[in-house]
Amino acid sequence: MRGPTGFCPAGEFGEASLGTADSVGSHGADRAVLRSSAGEDRVATLTSILSVVAVATGLLVPHSGARAEAWPGHAGLLAQAGRGFTYEHKPAPKPKGKAVLRVGYFPNLTHAQAMIGMSTGAFGKALGEQVVIDPYLFNAGPSAVEALFAGAIDITYIGPNPAINAYVRSKGEAVRIVAGACSGGAALVVRADANVESAKDFRGKRIATPQLGNTQDVAARAWLRKHGLALKEAGGDVQIVPMMNPDQLSLFLKKEIDAAWAVEPWAARLIKEGGGRLFLDERTLWPNGQFVTVHLLASTKFLKQQPDLMKTWLGAHVELTQ
């Protein structure tokens, strides 16, 4: 699925590693090519599901013949994509004799595999009746990493910067990247009346990001530094304000922020509902317009204890991507 910021599954861009604890740990992971030349029926199904998500978020208005029926599974989670939400986690019950897989992801379109797989029951079907999936929703990557470190979750869909940070912080011991998930779908959107036409115009402006240290936060800071702009905390006059994704839109409308480095569907909503303007599509910063937005991160403890469970999840992940 493509939008103004080029969101699409990782399948269009090559490979995702399928690794057990041993194979990933020894850098000898099996490879599974995720190709974009899937059959029309599969593409149609994916497009249909994502269209329902987009309708729920207000990104698309269905025409008279459109169908947005309720589907089985966690459809309520999809309806939260792109909306303000509060999520109080209630651990899934663990029936005797069954394993529990605790999965983190965000209610963003860039986390399509997780959202679709949970909502349609694809992951549950692949894992079987002896495994209970316990989903955790996060706003951004640093929070998911803390949950992973605390042993609260086993795997999570996450951006590259928090994943790298987790690897470095644990000296390479705690986590492994086991698959790609998404490329594209991130942009710098400015208020139409903020008088921003070039990089130098960001002086004195306030830019929102999803969370301190998340992928878009790091991208924004690197881009500002590249253009000779310093942050207020470093003696400059540009302010980065990390905040929850839903707050970006509300503060954008109130003119309390001037811009946001956002992922989909938030970038599109800032334009559509907030009257914003696309200032920078992040694809323009990368060779061939390709960069990792989301991949799948697993704790090494889980990989060692449940390698078969990980492989089964990855099999479903690859199928959803294709």
Asked whether residue 175 falls in the same domain as residue 229, the answer is: no
Q: What range does the domain containing 111 cover?
A: 8-184+291-321
Residue 4 neighbours by CB under 8 Å, 6+ apart = 187, 267, 268, 271, 278, 281
Measured N-to-C along each axis, helices 141-149 and 160-169 cross at an angle, to the nearest 10 degrees, of 30
Distance of CA 54 to the CA centre of its chain: 15
Asked whether residue 79 falls in the same domain as residue 227, the answer is: no
Q: 68-73: long-range contacts at Cβ-Cβ below 8 A with a sequence spacing of 24 or more?
A: 71/119, 71/120, 72/120, 72/121, 73/118, 73/119, 73/120, 73/121, 73/124
In this prediction, residue 97 carries a pLDDT of 78
The SS3 of residue 150 is coil
Question: What is the total count of domains within the chain?
Answer: 2
Q: Which among 96, 98, 56 has a CA at the least distance from the CA of 74?
A: 56
Asked whether residue 179 falls in the same domain as residue 195, the answer is: no
Q: How far apart are CA 169 and CA 36, in angstroms?
A: 35
pTM assigned to the model: 0.73
In this prediction, residue 182 carries a pLDDT of 93
In this prediction, residue 96 carries a pLDDT of 76
Look up the CATH number of the domain holding residue 272: 3.40.190.10
**CA 100 → CA 23, 91, 96, 155, 260, distances in Å?**
23, 10, 11, 12, 37
DSSP for residue 170 = T
The answer to whether 300 and 174 are in contact (CB under 8 A) is yes
Q: Which among 276, 81, 264, 270 has a CA at the least distance from the CA of 186?
A: 264
Q: How far apart are CA 210 and CA 259, in angstroms?
A: 12
Asked whether residue 268 falls in the same domain as residue 160, the answer is: no
Asked whether residue 197 falls in the same domain as residue 138, the answer is: no
Asked whether residue 241 falls in the same domain as residue 150, the answer is: no
Order of strands, sheet of 99-105, starting from the edge strand that comes earlier in the sequence: 8-9, 175-183, 292-299, 155-158, 99-105, 131-137
Residue 298 has φ and ψ, to the nearest 5°, of: -130, 150
Asked whether residue 244 falls in the same domain as residue 100, the answer is: no
In this prediction, residue 8 carries a pLDDT of 54
**Residue 157 within any structural domain of the chain:** yes
Please, what are the averages of pLDDT over each run of 10 residues along the chain (322 residues)?
54 34 28 28 38 35 26 36 46 76 94 94 95 94 94 96 95 96 95 97 97 94 97 95 94 97 95 97 94 95 96 96 90
Burial (0-12, 13-18, 19+ Cβ within 10 Å), 40: exposed
DSSP for residue 233 = G
Asked whether residue 179 falls in the same domain as residue 43, the answer is: yes
Asked whether residue 47 falls in the same domain as residue 168, the answer is: yes
Asked whether residue 69 falls in the same domain as residue 167, the answer is: yes
DSSP for residue 83 = S
In this prediction, residue 124 carries a pLDDT of 95
Task: Tell me which amino acid residue 105 is.
Answer: Y
